[in-house]
Amino acid sequence: MYNIKLLNKISKIGLDVFDENYSYNEEMVNEDAILVRSASLHEYDFGENLKAIARAGAGVNNIPIDKCSEKGIVVFNTPGANANAVKELVLCALFLSSRKIIESIRWVDTLKDDQNVAKTAEKGKSNFVGPEIEGKTLGVIGLGAIGVNVANAAIKLGMKVKGYDPYIGVNAAWALSKHAKHAISLDEIYQECDYITIHIPSNSETKGFLNQDAFAQMKDGVKILNFARGDLVNNEDLLVNVANGKVGKYISDFAAPELIGQENIIILPHLGASTPESEDNCAKMAVKEVIEYLENGNIINS
Ligand code: MLT
């Protein structure tokens, strides 16, 4: 039997579906493995027995990778397990960035005491005109499972899609996607896209990836979606570019004090993977990886 510690709720099913003998105990300090969703392990005091950590998600920036390497602790993630959930929320954000849905809902809410609300609402609708996405160009930065899923869905919605990956070049899934173009450079994405969505990992090299240099090259009124990590965007530069209209809308899944309550900025509370299906997929994959490693020494998705 192994001691496996579960940090955060990563799924309703927890560990039970795999083997009722695998134990979970909040107080445990000498675990063989840790399963974690978004909690940070950077300050966590690893026990002597710890052999593996599995992140129920794609990003591993909440795990101290260097410390794990030094101690021989294997770190797993669950690539692709939440890609559909994140894709669906990115598509939702794509529509929110175009049609003035949030703004109009907020305005209609202010009409609560208006006895002629239907008439007032009709009159006010001309303030909430927003463009269709069909025929517009979406730039996808980062061609992992989520980026490729978003690209393929956007193509089905009639968008032109250009993709670029600063690390892996064109991956196999992208190459198979018949209607997406691979951009020669990031400049091409910045200069030609009406919407840009970013799907790269957060690390010391990618901090502030979208900064003044990038914004300066973009089309006026570009809509930017960030469902990868908050620190990929330089918020100081972003605020300047939202204020001067260069960035028409910024929708992000990551809160920061300076972004709250700003016009043309919509912030969600890291909801990308928050579907029961995705939580179950990630939990199952994470547990499988850890058990496979503890029992057979096999390393999948490390
Ligand atoms: C991810 O890295 O895949 C997401 O942050 C997962 C999550 O929201 O838990």
Kindly indicate the confidence band of residue 207, based on its pLDDT and cuts at 50, 70 and 90.
very high
1 pLDDT above the threshold of 80:
no
Which CATH superfamily is 83-267 part of?
Answer: NAD(P)-binding Rossmann-like Domain (3.40.50.720)
Candidates 37, 229, 279, 289; catalytic one = 229
Is the alpha carbon torsion for 282, 285, 289, 291 positive or negative? positive
Answer yes or no: same fold for 4-79+276-296 and 83-267: yes
Is the alpha carbon torsion for 64, 68, 69, 74 positive or negative? negative
Q: Which amino acid is at 27?
A: E
Which residues make Cβ contacts (< 8 Å) with residue 180, sequence separation at least 6? 140, 151, 152, 155, 161, 162, 163, 174
Which CATH superfamily is 4-79+276-296 part of?
Answer: NAD(P)-binding Rossmann-like Domain (3.40.50.720)
Kindly indicate the confidence band of residue 4, based on its pLDDT and cuts at 50, 70 and 90.
confident
Q: Could you give the C-alpha distances from 55 to 3, 160, 232, in angstroms and in order? A: 16, 34, 20
What would the mean pLDDT of 252-276 be, rounded to a whole number?
Answer: 97
Question: Which amino acids bring their CB within 6 angstroms of ligand 1?
Answer: 37-38, 57-59, 82, 270, 272-273
Task: Please report how many Cα atoms fall inside a 13 Å half-sphere around the Cα of residue 272, on the Cβ side.
Answer: 32
Ligand 1 centroid from CA 9, angstroms: 12
What would the mean pLDDT of 275-298 be, rounded to a whole number?
Answer: 91
What would the mean pLDDT of 288-296 be, rounded to a whole number?
Answer: 91
Kindly indicate the confidence band of residue 3, based on its pLDDT and cuts at 50, 70 and 90.
confident
Ligand 1 centroid from CA 227, angstroms: 9
Could you tell which of 38, 206, 252 is best to mutate to test the pocket of ligand 1, judged by most ligand atoms within 8 Å of the CB? Answer: 38
CA angle 41, 45, 50 (to 5 degrees): 85
27 pLDDT above the threshold of 70:
no
Which residues make Cβ contacts (< 8 Å) with residue 165, sequence separation at least 6? 141, 142, 143, 144, 147, 171, 174, 200
State pLDDT tens for residues 125-164: 999 999 999 999 999 999 999 999 999 999 999 999 999 9
Asked about 270 being catalytic, the answer comes back as yes
Kindly indicate the confidence band of residue 224, based on its pLDDT and cuts at 50, 70 and 90.
very high
State pLDDT tens for residues 62-77: 999 999 999 999 999 9
The minimum-distance atom of ligand 1 relative to the CA of 82 is 3
Q: Whose CA is nearest to atom 4 of ligand 1?
A: 57
Kindly indicate the confidence band of residue 116, based on its pLDDT and cuts at 50, 70 and 90.
very high
Q: Which residue has the higher pLDDT, 181 or 217?
A: 217
Candidates 270, 277, 289, 292; catalytic one = 270
Candidates 132, 236, 258, 277; catalytic one = 258
What would the mean pLDDT of 48-57 be, rounded to a whole number?
Answer: 93
What would the mean pLDDT of 207-221 be, rounded to a whole number?
Answer: 98
Kindly indicate the confidence band of residue 17, based on its pLDDT and cuts at 50, 70 and 90.
very low
7 pLDDT above the threshold of 80:
no
Q: What is the DSSP letter of 219?
A: P
20 pLDDT above the threshold of 50:
no
Q: Whose CA is nearest to atom 7 of ligand 1?
A: 273
Give the E-state strand segments of the chain in sequence order.
4-7, 33-36, 52-55, 74-76, 137-141, 160-164, 180-182, 195-198, 222-226, 247-252, 265-267
Asked about 258 being catalytic, the answer comes back as yes
This model of the complex carries an ipTM of 0.93
The minimum-distance atom of ligand 1 relative to the CA of 78 is 3
Enumerate the domain spans of the chain.
4-79+276-296, 83-267
What would the mean pLDDT of 96-106 be, rounded to a whole number?
Answer: 96
Asked about 279 being catalytic, the answer comes back as no
